[in-house]
Amino acid sequence: MSQPAVCEVNECGVLAVGRCGTCRRPFCSTHQARDGSWKQYVDLCAPCFAKTPEQVARAESDAWRKREYAAKHFFNEDPGFHAEPSLAHEALLASGLKPVSIYSVSISQEYRLGLFGRRWVQNEEVTRCEGWVIGEFDWRDDGHDRDGNAIYHVSKVLTVVLHPAARGVLSVTRYKDGYLITKKHDFKDYLSAEVAVKEMTRFTPNSG
Ligand SMILES: [Zn+2]
Ligand SMILES: [Zn+2]
């Protein structure tokens, strides 16, 4: 009577349920290959499954998504975090780096009675706040071509973190003694922006 095979993955020793067609090792039910839908593989162990090109690609994209999610959180760009100052904001405040002037222009229209009757009057209100310019990053600009098809292009745009900054990152252009918030559509560069803020707040006068 032959000895029942035991799992040889990580010197596991539990009673085996199958043998791997790739590495020839017996595996137990814990070390059996299984995908996200809990489909089981009868002839593949978990370590060999993890090395298949599909699983390697999947692990890489999962890791990238996690990093991007963390970077969005760093700038308060995920719903649920908006009430508090962002980690970026706290790092910039603690660094002692001086914030600069950031302006925003809001335009409203008013139907006003004037000398020659009623007409639309455009009001432009400029408000000033402060923030830190953290560098140039990729912003996506949505638009339409001549045939009305949706198009977009990505370009490097100056980017700021506002103070107080419970509202993520914004794109700006130079304006007066500081910068003016522009209406860009979609920020694409959270990972590099997080790196930039961490770099610029690391070695500063106030850091101990
Ligand atoms: Zn194997
Ligand atoms: Zn095992």
Of 21, 62, 69, the closest CA to residue 44 belongs to 21
- Alpha helices for 1-52 (secondary structure H): 46-50
The domain locations on the chain are 9-72, 79-202
Q: How many Å lie between the centroid of ligand 1 and the Cα of residue 188? A: 39
Q: What type of residue sits at position 89? A: H
CA pair distance 30, 40, nearest whole angstrom: 11
CA pair distance 10, 108, nearest whole angstrom: 68
Could you read off the pLDDT of 49-105 as tens digits, one per residue? 999 999 999 999 999 999 999 998 898 876 565 567 788 988 998 998 999 999 999
Q: How many of the other CB atoms lie within 10 Å of CB of 99? A: 18
pLDDT at 147 over 80: yes
CA pair distance 124, 104, nearest whole angstrom: 10
Q: How many Å lie between the centroid of ligand 1 and the Cα of residue 144? A: 52
Answer whether 0.75 is exceeded by the pTM: no
Q: How many Å lie between the centroid of ligand 1 and the Cα of residue 9? A: 8
Looking at residue 6, the DSSP 8-state letter turns out to be B
Q: How many Å lie between the centroid of ligand 1 and the Cα of residue 2? A: 22
